[in-house]
Amino acid sequence: DAKTTQPTSMDCAEGRAANLPCNHSTISGNEYVYWYRQIHSQGPQYIIHGLKNNETNEMASLIITEDRKSSTLILPHATLRDTAVYYCIVRVAINGNQFYFGTGTSLTVIP
Amino acid sequence: DSGVTQTPKHLITATGQRVTLRCSPRSGDLSVYWYQQSLDQGLQFLIQYYNGEERAKGNILERFSAQQFPDLHSELNLSSLELGDSALYFCASSVGQGAGSPLHFGNGTRLTVT
């Protein structure tokens, strides 16, 4: 698995965009980038994933650099309920588990 | 709501005992994963099943076992419990095994061993 590097913590003002970076410099061509978040001991919540192209859904946008060595999760208008630990995960396309959670980024949305 | 159901939500038991945690995957999902999250620890992968067959093992202790039944629900059995087994246990499911299939997690079972 390609390892990921994320900031330990970040703050964001309520209503502003939250941009969460992730480095995955050893990613391979068939590995997907996934983002999850976990709100205080609840189950991790799927946010978005992508392979090469940028992706957008109702929760967030995922921007993947052209060389695929880094990505950014964008929450367009952060709310207090977005305060959580955000995990960037790189997943390989083979059988079996390819989902290894790191330590993530603790995002605090400030009123 | 992810659609993954885990029971019970809370479990308190004594050292040396045996417990069974249950997971019902989302409708249509064939793959089930089990994870352990201890206090202040990250999520540790335990084991994966796909359509009834074991497909991958992570850091699962020999005292722990799991299975996936024909109706696709899964059970995680923990025996000879120790204090250190106290943790949140999460189940996740996905449609397939491919890397493009997101995992959807339940809200976990909190196990306390006293």
Q: How far is B91 from chain A (nearest CA, A)?
A: 9
Lowest mean pLDDT among A61-65, B40-44, B69-73: B40-44
Contact criterion met (CB < 8 Å) for A97 and B42: no
A contact residues 53-92, partner B, Cβ 8 Å cutoff:
91-92
Whether the ω angle into residue B8 lies within 30 degrees of 0, i.e. cis, is yes
pLDDT of chain A, 111 residues: tens digit per residue: 558 999 999 999 999 999 999 999 988 888 899 999 999 889 999 999 999 999 999 999 999 999 999 999 999 999 999 999 999 998 876 655 567 788 899 999 999
φ, ψ dihedrals at B83, nearest 5°: -55, -35
Classified as helix, coil or strand, A63 is: strand
Q: In the predicted model, is pLDDT for residue B93 greater than 60? A: yes
- pLDDT digits over B8-22, tens only? 999 999 999 999 999
Classified as helix, coil or strand, A77 is: coil
| Sheet (strand B64-68) strand order | B5-7, B19-24, B74-78, B64-68
Instruction: Give kind and range of the element (H or E) at residue B22.
Output: strand B19-24
How confident is the model at residue B108, as a pLDDT?
97
How confident is the model at residue A98, as a pLDDT?
63
How confident is the model at residue A103, as a pLDDT?
85
What is the phi-psi region of residue A8: left when phi exceeds 0, alpha when psi lies from -120 to 50, beta otherwise? alpha
How confident is the model at residue A29, as a pLDDT?
83
Contact criterion met (CB < 8 Å) for A97 and B33: yes
**To the nearest whole number, what is the mean pLDDT of chain B?**
94
Q: How far is A95 from chain B (nearest CA, A)?
A: 6
Q: Which two tokens stand for residue B8?
A: 């019970």
Residues of B in contact with A94 (CB under 8 A): 99
